[in-house]
Amino acid sequence: MKRFITFAFVLFAFSAVVSAPATRPEVLRVVLDEAIQPSTQEYVSRAIDFAQHNHNEAVLLELYTPGGLESSMREIISKILASPVPVIVYVAPTGSRAASAGFYILESADVAAMAPGTNTGAGHPVILGAKMDDVMKEKLENDAAAFMRSYVSKRGRNVELAESGIRQSKSFTEQEALTQNLIEYVAPNEDDLFKQLDGKTIKRFDGSQITLHLSSPAVKTYEMTLKERILNYLLDPNIAAMLLTVGVFAIYLEFNTPGAVVPGVVGFIAILLAVFALSILPTSFAALGLILGAFVLFVLEAKLQSHGVLTAGGIGLLILGLL
């Protein structure tokens, strides 16, 4: 009787193990649909660290960006190349682009994919608000091209074509990128992309190989923190310009109505936030000079009776500075 009970218990335990559902692979989705800047760089870095800690099968970086800051782009790429978790960069949805800095990030991925109706490329470096001479242009171009070659060759992609996206600012549709070996997959959605990738063996940046298991994965979206959202909002050039404009006019109002206090406080805070954003963003010093000149004229208008002449001049300088 004891033998029968023992046998029944073992049989029950075995059947429970066999019938237990297999653990679904987990994929961490990171949605990067903004300009590349410090807040997005911090967001991607945290996501990759989280995926490593959580032992995710892969990180899916959905990319839709016009470009951004080179320093932030390089930090993101360094994080992708060193990531112990495979990183899939997917330009999506349809109508999206991975231009400029986004092109570099796409090519750094373990797996590069695009949705139909998307494009990438136009990676020639520029300095916003400044005209480069031929020497500076050549230096930046050569540096960017060497950076691109340093990892595209190890990814087994078309080095010459990738470099032409920098030196000649070429852009590519998803089909052009696929047929000319800039990317590996074209997929209309992430489910189709996972089906194509399931069971595929990929070569990592360090030369190791890994087989992806992406059959019906559990996909979790990694969200930005409140701090990153606020920074992302403030570092929008349009928002920075608006804050600066509001700040200048609020200070002007405070000079015209001494003791009002509120316009002065609002203006002071707005200008501080604008200066913070402009200290990070590429900024033209000539434009800042024009805006400062506008501020001086507004202050003089509050002290001198010019019948609107100084105000008109200040508005003109402010408009020119914000262009």
Residues designated catalytic: 100, 139
Count CA atoms closer than 13 A to 186's CA, side-chain side: 16
196 phi and psi angles, rounded to 5 deg: -65, -35
SS3 content of the chain, % helix, strand, coil (to 5): 55, 15, 30
The tokens describing 316, both together, are 């003109």
Place of tokens 């002290």: 303
The tokens describing 187, both together, are 């997929």
CA 56, 57, 59: angle at the middle one, nearest 5? 75
Q: Which regions of 213-308 does DSSP assign to beta strands (E)?
A: 218-221
Sort strands 58-63 and 26-32 into parallel, antiparallel or unpaired.
parallel
The tokens describing 56, both together, are 């995710």
Closest to 28 (Cα-Cα) out of 90, 114, 96: 90
